[in-house]
Chain A
Amino acid sequence: MFLSEQVSKELLSQYGLLIPEGRTAKTPELAEAACKEFNAKRYVVKALIPAGGRGLAGGVKFAATPSSVREIAENLLGSTLVTEQTNEGGERVDAVYVEAAIDIAKDYFIAIALDPGTGSPLLLASSDGGVEFEQRSRMDEGTVRTHLLAPESDESRAALEGFLKEIGIEGTTAIDSIFAARRAFCENDMTLLEINPFARTATGDWMVIDAKVLLDGNTIFRHPEFETMAADLSRPESELEAQKNNINLVKLTGNVGVVANGAGLGLATHDMLVDAGGDPANFMDIRTTAKSFDVAKGVELLLGDPNVKVILLNVHGGGMTAADTVAEGINFAYSRSERQLPVIAHISGQNAEWGIRILRDRKVPVETFDTISDAVSRVVEIAR
């Protein structure tokens, strides 16, 4: 779950980190009006999209007057930004954030994530903050340095001070800010907190100029507030619909509908289909907890997609999602649909024979194959 810039910053400010004054605006007029609500010598207008890399993509502009804030907002609102971190279609700008521009002495980059090895919060820091950080860190892995960030104590403060000195970050308030960020990270079940830039201002303060937060979507049971905090990720309706039914679905542009259970088997199927010259209409992973009704929902989405010409079914039955559960789901979707697309199947594992029989008995137009490769070749043949 992704938090937008302003929600991320407001959350951090509750923990005592300094953020510039700013307002969200959905029209150019409101953007101009927002300027009167706080004191600033200059303004910055930022496109609010749920992805980073905006600076290089033209999504962050400075303005000297409220009227030029309006002009910039006019250009940004309704446009689509494609950055290094969005998908190819980019993200539509539905709102801008108007903020007091800060006189910055130097930009730094800091982030907190869980170290995959130890599982403890890990501080990442670089003296190359700001928009160039992305490019520079890619050219030179040494740009980012890391430090295991223990809970605040005299000892951990001293250790952090030593680490930060090497980056060029000094002073009590910087250390206080980083421990505050750690508390925000842990108390809100964040999986990633990036502050870039973390800036030393001309007046010597440490300020969060931009921030990005990822929340652990598996903690909603103890953070009901996340539902309203998270930014709308502008996903297609069909993907959200599938999500509700224990199915991970990603829409693509090809003509082969793919049904597979498990993320690994889904990725393996996708690789083989593309290698054979096929063009997937989707990526699908039926979660192990899915019932036949969930599977039916997923298959219905494919049958309802006019681009799809044929369905590739690759299922390995195991434990609770046996092959017959998947077959029942497919049968259910077909019984309710006028479109009867051919199903090319590799079905193995738990209750495989039973699953195949269900499809045949119920007159689902299915061809089965003993290997994934054979099923994939056949599907590519039909799709051409």
Chain B
Amino acid sequence: MSIFVDANTRVIVQGMTGRAGTFYTDQAVRYGSTYVGGVRPGKGGTRHLDMPMFNTVAEAMTETGANASLVIVPAPHAAEAMIEAIEAGIGVIVCVTERVPQHDMSRVKAALEGTDCVLIGPNSQGILTPEQCKIGVMPTRNAQPGSVGIASRSASLTSEILAQFSKAGMGQSTTVGIGGDTLHGVDFVECLKRFRDDAETEAVVLIGEIGGRSEEDAAEYLRSVDYGKPVIALVVGRHAPKGRRMGHAGTLSVLGGDSAQEKIANLRNAGVFIADNADDVVASVLQAQARAKAS
């Protein structure tokens, strides 16, 4: 099992004909994921990477039975692409585009309201269910199937930790990059809920950092349920250089501006096992699992 994507996921790519779109589609297909077509207005009826191209997401869904989309278009057009996919009623959208304007994301979030569509990103490395489905830009060489579920806010740090897991012989059920931007789709909380319901996932790892409220919201959710599986978190930025702080303390208390230490204390109080640093995550999972078994 897995969350959000699996062997039955049929992926289309919005922006497949671009340089990055071509590169990452090719990589994902080689990895063995099921990609069924591309979308680019004006290119309908042509073929790219040996797949059919369509003018619209709706058309691509009808013709190919696609249920997921990778959005890999330049930032000025990313919101329109996401909104088109939401309105077409696709199940999962993964947006890897960086630097999407926040007010554009405001419109995307409004379009998501009341739908069942799952948005992952933007500014995400994507989602990977090893040996079943890759939608995104992350490396796959070090991934292997297994029982650790991972949700993270940063790409290269997650790849590093994922490689450490595989080296230790611990595979992953699904790795989700929720994205590094303030406004994004699924959050840690939604990932935690899905991992809880996923029979294969035995432990959940959250990789967080300073800024935003994702860790605080995760802690609040975990305090509200008997989660039933060990949750391990790494929060980086404990010694982040003190920079110029924008905004008043009052504004920040609402929008989220807790230090890494505050986030860590918050998660620990919610029963989360805290990894000291990036080299301590694998050991922390093993300890948390041993403790869960003992109790």
Contacts and interface: CB of A to CB of B under 8 A. Distances in A.
B278 interface: yes
A129 to B, nearest CB: 11
A42 B77 CA distance: 51
Nearest to A50: B244
A153 interface: no
B210 A267 contact: yes
A238 interface: no
B295 to A, nearest CB: 30
Interface stretch (B1-9, B42-50, B168-176, B233-241): B233-241
A51 B137 CA distance: 37
Contact of A318 (B155, B213, B237, B260): B155
A48 B136 CA distance: 45
Interface stretch (A7-15, A71-79, A133-141): A133-141
A320 B239 contact: no
B103 A87 contact: no
A270 B240 contact: yes
Contact of A252 (B108, B137, B241, B277): B241
A138 B249 contact: yes
Contact of B157 (A120, A126, A268, A287): A268
Interface stretch (B63-71, B138-146, B198-206, B220-228): B138-146
Contacts of B242: 87-88
B168 to A, nearest CB: 12
B98 A289 contact: yes
A134 B100 contact: no
A189 B256 CA distance: 20
Interface residues of B, number: 69
A275 interface: yes
Given A114-B102, A267-B237, A372-B279, A349 B139 contact: yes
A172 interface: no
Q: Which of A121, A191, A320 has the most CB of B within 10 A?
A: A191
A270 B114 CA distance: 41
A218 B248 CA distance: 23
A80 B251 CA distance: 26
A29 interface: no
B127 interface: no
B156 interface: yes
A355 interface: no
A114 B154 CA distance: 22
A50 B243 CA distance: 13
Contacts of B138: 318-319
B180 interface: yes
B248 A320 contact: no
B183 A218 contact: no
Contacts of A261: 156
Nearest to B234: A268
Nearest to A350: B139
B248 A114 contact: no
Contacts of A275: 239, 276-277
A268 B279 CA distance: 9
Contact of B248 (A196, A214, A267): A196
Nearest to B280: A373
Nearest to A235: B244
Q: Which of B108, B153, B249 has the most CB of A within 10 A?
A: B249
A111 to B, nearest CB: 5
B109 interface: yes
A196 B249 CA distance: 13
A288 B155 contact: yes
B293 interface: no
A113 B156 contact: no
Nearest to B245: A85
Interface in A271-297: 271-272, 274-275, 283, 287-289
A316 B163 contact: yes
A318 B156 contact: yes
A265 interface: yes
Contacts of B154: 262-265, 267
A119 B109 contact: yes
A363 to B, nearest CB: 27
B253 A272 contact: no
B247 A192 contact: yes
Interface in B168-193: 180, 182-183
Contacts of B248: 52, 109, 111, 133-134, 137, 194, 196
Contacts of A268: 157, 160, 234, 236, 277-278
12 contacts: A114-B106, A134-B249, A194-B247, A261-B156, A265-B157, A267-B240, A269-B278, A288-B137, A316-B160, A318-B139, A319-B23, A349-B160
Given A114-B105, A288-B156, A373-B277, 11 more contacts: A50-B244, A113-B251, A116-B213, A118-B109, A119-B106, A141-B253, A194-B251, A264-B236, A267-B157, A267-B209, A318-B156
| Among all A-B residue pairs, the 9 with the closest Cβ atoms | A264-B154, A119-B109, A137-B250, A262-B156, A264-B157, A274-B239, A267-B236, A268-B278, A218-B99
